[in-house]
Amino acid sequence: MQEILSNLALGFSVAASPVNLGLCLVGALVGTLVGVLPGIGTIATVAMLLPITFGLPPVGALIMLAGIYYGAQYGGSTTSILVNIPGEAGSVVTALDGHAMAKKGRAGPALAIAAIGSFFAGCVATVLIALLGAPLTKLALAFGPAEYFSLMVLGLIFAVVLAKGSVLKAIAMIVLGLLLSMVGSDIETGASRMAFNIPELADGLGFATVAMGLFGFAEIIRNLDAGSATNRDLVQDKVTGLMPTAKDLKESAPAIVRGTALGSILGILPGGGAVIASFAAYTLEKKISKNPRSFGHGNIRGVAGPESANNAAAQTSFIPLLTLGIPPNAVMALMVGAMTIHGIIPGPQVMQKQPELVWGMIASMWLGNLMLLIINLPLVGIWVRLLRVPYRLMFPSIVVFCAIGIYSVNNAPTDVVLAGIFGLLGYWLIKHDFEPAPLLLGMVLGPLMEENLRRAMLIARGDASVYFWRCVQPAGQRLPSGDIAALTFGDYAKGCISPMLLLLSFVLIVIAILPSIRSKRDEVFVEES
């Protein structure tokens, strides 16, 4: 407890410095600003704004990025409530009841409840990160390459199981991402792989480049297809009566608590994160409600539950990233990209060697949420005006902004062309109903997985089955001295971690393919239609 408090104190002392406070504010504001623009989801926002953090010191950059992230998420829910165009899958369910409330002239309370719910969820999640951070880091330090590899396999499988849509297609996207991550120089031998003697490819595909292509450019091209068909019917020109009534608060309070609990759990699990959390929270609220028919017609719980879950999951998904160094979803994968650009390899070592970085970021999340609550409610008027910007003016601006951003990473024109190619690839993927998010996750995890697998093989002298036998072997053989008495339960358990993780992944994938489970899983996502 003492440790946690002192860690948090350190964090707040870092986050509360005027510069970092300012960066957090700017991040949250800019994130909201871009997130509000219809048709731009959270991932696209973070990818687009990545370059503006390059010039900052690492702590400031991460604080700002985290601010951009939850700002974008808040902006997304504003769009779905006011114009019924959810920027991304996570806020689809918010649009159901939130937009219905807006149609009844209650956009203000809907926005306020979304903000309050998010803030509450943010507070809980911050405490959770602080509580779980240290023990998980200790666990992570005990992991060897075999354990890491198994953990990443499990993470990727979770991502497949918790995502919506076809399991087969999601796995294919992950493998495509893994394959793309192999382009460039081999980590151990330096051999050039699939680079076709193009010097710009020798260093591998830039992560920001791929992300901006797949999420920025591809979205723009896709939105252009829709043309003027996407009319943005702004239901309320002026948002008045922001404050929710006492009845609203009383009704939504339990939903906020339930949403937060559900979101926190689902956020830690690798995979869907915020998306599945909001869907699951909505389904839960509908199931336990006495009056399920009122959902979809402006029930405030249908806003409170998913929005809290969304935000809780968004924040707890930092836990696996900060402690294990494994990004659980595409946004966290972007964070890894950003950290790598600043020369930080996320993982347990960062938590130990640069505590001010990690705890500063955690504390800034809480401060950022508070800022969002205070700033955004009065600023709703500005966001509403932004929604009126016609797409025909917005999309060329985004194209140019993204292009400058990509160019500024390495001052390389080739990167811009590559991003364009990935934009077309992303467009094609969308047209064939492939999700680009698992691809990004695979691309980040690819080098880590390969490196750990190779190391594990080397340690096992080429026979990976060692890791399976280690679990069941007579314990004496594992110690050079053969001193069985010295073995603790922990030693036994440690030998079994990697087989257990792999077994769990296997079980999960079998479960996901079973027809009966599949239909249950689709049920959670059914609200979309």
Partner 1 sequence: MTDATGPSPGKSGLLSFIKSPQDFFGGLALMAIAAFAYWASSDLQGMRGFTFGPGTAPRLFSALLFFLGGGIAITGLLTDGPSLQKYGVRGPFFVSLAILAFAIMIRPLGLVVTAFLSFMIAAMGSDETKWVEAAIVGACLTLFCSLLFPYALGLPLQLWPRFLIQ
Q: Which residues bind partner 1 (CB under 8 A)?
A: 51-52, 54-55, 89, 166, 168-169, 171-172, 175-176, 178-179, 182, 186, 188-189, 191, 193-194, 196, 217, 220-222, 224-225, 227-228, 390-393, 395-397, 399-401, 403-404, 407-408, 411, 413-414, 416-417, 419-420, 423-424, 427-428, 430-435, 450, 453-455, 457-458, 460-462
Q: Output the smallest distance, CB 10 to partner 1, in A.
A: 28
Residue 35 or residue 423: which is nearer to partner 1 going by CB? Answer: 423
Chain-centroid distance, C-alpha 52: 19
Least separation in angstroms between CB 513 and partner 1? 11
455/457 Cα distance (integer angstroms): 5
Q: Which of 511, 510, 529, 508 is nearest to 520 (CA)?
A: 511
Is residue 445 within 8 Å of 152, Cβ to Cβ? yes
Between 48 and 101, CB nearer to partner 1? 48
When the beta carbons of 194 and 486 are compared against partner 1, the nearer one is 194
Amino acid at 185: S
Write out the E strands in 174-282.
184-185, 192-193
Question: Closest approach of Cβ 450 to partner 1, in Å?
Answer: 5
What amino acid is encoded at 308 in this protein? S
Q: Which residues are 193's β-sheet partners? A: 184
> Is residue 382 within 8 Å of 149, Cβ to Cβ?
no
Name the residue nearer to partner 1 (CB basis): 458 or 472.
458
* Burial class (CB within 10 angstroms; exposed 0-12, middle 13-18, buried 19+) of 447: middle
| Cβ nearer to partner 1, comparing 54 with 468 | 54
Q: Minimum CB separation from partner 1 for residue 116, in Å?
A: 29
> For residue 1, how many C-alpha atoms fall within 13 Å in the half-sphere facing its CB?
0
Nearer to partner 1, 116 or 443 (CB): 443
SS3 string of 296-365? CCCCCHHHHHHHHHHHHHHHHCHHHHHHHCCCCCHHHHHHHHHHHHCCCCCCHHHHHHCHHHHHHHHHHH
CB of 500 to partner 1, least distance (A): 23
Nearer to partner 1, 127 or 389 (CB): 389
- The nearer residue to partner 1, 193 or 247, going by C-beta atoms, is 193
CA angle 156, 157, 160 (to 5 degrees): 90
DSSP one-letter code for 122: H
Residue number, 346 or 405, with CB nearest to partner 1: 405
Minimal distance, residue 171 CB to partner 1, in Å? 6
**Lookup result for tokens 């990025």:** 65
CB of 303 vs partner 1, minimal distance in Å = 21
Separation CA 387–CA 68 (nearest Å): 18
Q: How far is the CB of 466 from partner 1 (least distance, A)?
A: 11
281 CB contacts (<8 Å, ≥6 apart)? Answer: 93, 255, 258, 259, 262, 263, 305, 306, 308, 309, 310
In angstroms, give the least distance from the CB of 149 to partner 1.
12
User: Residue 154 or 437: which CB sits closer to partner 1?
Assistant: 437
How open is the CA angle 135-141-145, to the nearest 5 degrees? 135
- Other beta carbons less than 10 A from residue 201's beta carbon: 18
CB closer to partner 1, 216 vs 348: 216
**Residues 352, 138: contact at Cβ < 8 Å?**
no
Which of 25/129 has CB closer to partner 1?
A: 25
Q: In 141-232, at which residue ranges do the beta strands (DSSP E only) sit?
A: 184-185, 192-193
Q: How many CB atoms lie within 10 A of CB 5?
A: 10
8-state DSSP, 245: P
State the minimum distance, in angstroms, from the CB of residue 454 to partner 1.
5
Question: CA-based diameter of the chain, in Å?
Answer: 78
Distance in Å, CB of 221 to partner 1, minimum:
5
> Angle between the 218-226 and 413-431 helix axes, to the nearest 10 degrees?
50
201 membership: H or E segment, kind and range: none
CB of 29 to partner 1, least distance (A): 14
